[in-house]
Structure 1
Amino acid sequence: MNKIILIIFLPLFLVFGYYILFFEPNNIQIEKQVIAIENLPQRFDGVKIVQLSDFHSLWFGSREKKVLEMLEKLNPDFVFITGDFVDPITKAITDRKLNSVKIFWQKLGEKYENRIFGVLGNHDTKFVKNYLIESGITILDNENKKLILNNEHIYLVGVDDPWTRRANLSKAMVGIENEPPKILLAHAAEIINEAVKEKIDLVLVGHTHGGQVNIPIVGRLIQPLSKYGRKYTSGLFRIEDTYLYVNRGIGTSILPIRFNCPPEITLIELQKKIL
């Protein structure tokens, strides 16, 4: 009887193990969103933004190469990255592996020169920030940037990681006019209440990995700590007049597995809201 059970369940266990360890973590999905914003300048109507998050990169590997290939096909106007560029392990492995990851960042920086922006996550150090800047990725560290197309502009605001309480949205908003639309990049949704008060139009975050393992009825099992629990795990939310989008991320943490929660690249099209 035990042999029969073993014969039946061992292949299933092996297939399931392969799926959660190798197939789904590399099965990157494109999630498309259309966001309508009041006062959006005409030149930004139809602009395509790619949001990437939570690479947790150990080196320039197959997953990073796949991201580059997918971005080539999407051809976005801007690329925004919402933190956790590296895995905690990477930080302890000195320059050799960081130099490998830097190849990936350099390819992004060269392809999307002056159009790629990011913020730091809870696993990203100032040391990592220097590597990113050298690679051509603009890091917004409690500051803002005016994005200009044909003399029309919107504001891109970026804060340091809210989860580790390094974010300073008030500082990041200095010098911003009230009228133009504002997009905020942050690593975690902890910033959302402040963003609503500041009348930010769109907030892009990551951090949660979508829960990584999503079992029907039971729910999402592997999720970094958040003061909101599982409230903002993944997807699009509307809080008063502010949109919040939570990206499931590219990489993994705690356990290198995913189930019913594939990694994602978010493709956002901005549209002018018709009143």
Structure 2
Amino acid sequence: MKKLLTISALLTLLAAATYYGNTTIASTSQTIQLQGLPPELEGLTISHVSDLHDAEFGEGQEELIKTVKEQQPDLIFLTGDIIDSNRYDLEKSLKAVSGFVEIAPVYYVTGNHEIATGQESEIKSRLSQLGVQALSNELVTVAIEGQSIELLGIEDPLTGASVADVLALHRRSELPRLTLSHRPEVFEDYVSAGEQLVFSGHAHGGQFRIPGIGGLIAPGQGLFPTYTAGIHEKEATQMIVSRGLGNSLFPFRLFNRPEVIKVTITP
């Protein structure tokens, strides 16, 4: 009887931890040094939001909006899959975005789920109406505090253009550059192109994170994937991968709390 009670208590604890780890948001922080960043932009802060997949955090997305607002970002990056192609509900995700645009300028790139719906034009149009700038394989120069930086937005390769092809069209200049691209598994392409700092998602943190090992599985990477969370560095390139917020084919996460990353950039 005692053993049964112990097992029951452990299962209850695991269920509670799983519920908490799927319905609450972790606000994580990273500080990254970016070569060539003007001193005037010391402390430039970005909220990195990825892979919402139609998940909902609080009524009208109030908890998600609150998390981003508390990070006090100068810019907000949405790196794809704000919706899920299996249960397409754009209105739910737009509630979050409508809150984001009141906080800071918002930039967006598509993920594979936007393309899979066949509704990417509608999604971009609705985002544009809210004031979001969708970057469709394009490079823009943004002025902040009188200083210029480049933002490169790469559409998901399901559109037909590979990440490498897009990078070849927009070679590095002398300006500091931040790159938004949904796919982390093509890290070597970013390295070959000399991209400075890439913001990515897609891997959902490996879905189930094994303590001391990392993520279990990720699309495009298979079992025990390399690029599921945190910062990855090689040569002059750094890539920050968000664990994301929602789920798709797998209905829950394990030891892998949804996150919004606060990225602070220094010279």
For the aligned pair, the TM-score class normalised by the smaller chain equals 0.7 to 0.9
Gaps of 5+ in 1: 92-96
* 1:32-71 pair list within 5 angstroms: 32-58=29-55, 61-62=58-59, 64-71=61-68
Deviation at 1:174, TM superposition (A): 5.0
Deviation at 1:17, TM superposition (A): 2.0
Question: In the superposition, relative to structure 1, how do residues 195 and 63 fare at CA in structure 2: closer, same or farther (>3 Å)?
Answer: farther
Q: In structure 2, which of residues 5, 10, 16 is the aligned counterpart of residue 12 of structure 1?
A: 10
What is the CA–CA distance in structure 2 between the aligned matches of 1:59 and 1:34, rounded to whole Å? 28
What is the CA–CA distance in structure 2 between the aligned matches of 1:169 and 1:156, rounded to whole Å? 17
Question: Is the radius of gyration larger for structure 1 or structure 2?
Answer: 1
Q: In structure 2, which of residues 173, 180, 189 is the aligned counterpart of residue 185 of structure 1?
A: 180
Aligned AA (2:48)? Q
Deviation at 1:223, TM superposition (A): 2.6
What is the CA–CA distance in structure 1 between the aligned matches of 2:5 and 2:166, rounded to whole Å? 62
Do residues 124 (structure 1) and 121 (structure 2) align? Answer: no
2:29 aligned counterpart, secondary structure = strand
- The answer for the alignment partner of 1:94 in structure 2 is none
Q: In structure 2, which of residues 63, 71, 75 is the aligned counterpart of residue 74 of structure 1?
A: 71
Task: Judge which range, 228-237 or 148-157, deviates more.
Answer: 228-237
- The answer for the alignment partner of 1:246 in structure 2 is 241
What is the CA–CA distance in structure 2 between the aligned matches of 1:158 and 1:167, rounded to whole Å? 13
1:90 aligned counterpart, secondary structure = coil
CA contact (8 A) 2:54 2:90 kept: no
What is the CA–CA distance in structure 1 between the aligned matches of 2:233 and 2:197, rounded to whole Å? 9
1:123 aligned counterpart, secondary structure = helix
Q: In structure 2, which of residues 212, 226, 229 is the aligned counterpart of residue 231 of structure 1?
A: 226
Do residues 213 (structure 1) and 208 (structure 2) align? Answer: yes
What is the CA–CA distance in structure 1 between the aligned matches of 2:38 and 2:168, rounded to whole Å? 20
CA contact (8 A) 1:185 1:204 kept: yes
What is the CA–CA distance in structure 2 between the aligned matches of 1:140 and 1:266, rounded to whole Å? 20
CA contact (8 A) 1:60 1:101 kept: no
* 1:87-236 pair list within 5 angstroms: 87-91=84-88, 97-112=89-104, 115-125=105-115, 126=120, 127-162=122-157, 166-168=161-163, 170-171=165-166, 174=169, 178-216=173-211, 219-226=214-221, 230-236=225-231
Q: CA RMSD in A?
A: 2.6
What is the CA–CA distance in structure 2 between the aligned matches of 1:213 and 1:150, rounded to whole Å? 41
TM-score (norm 2): 0.86
Question: In the superposition, relative to structure 1, how do residues 74 and 63 fare at CA in structure 2: closer, same or farther (>3 Å)?
Answer: same
CA contact (8 A) 1:162 1:190 kept: no
Deviation at 1:176, TM superposition (A): 6.4
CA contact (8 A) 2:61 2:95 kept: no
What is the CA–CA distance in structure 2 between the aligned matches of 1:171 and 1:4, rounded to whole Å? 62
- The answer for the alignment partner of 1:84 in structure 2 is 81
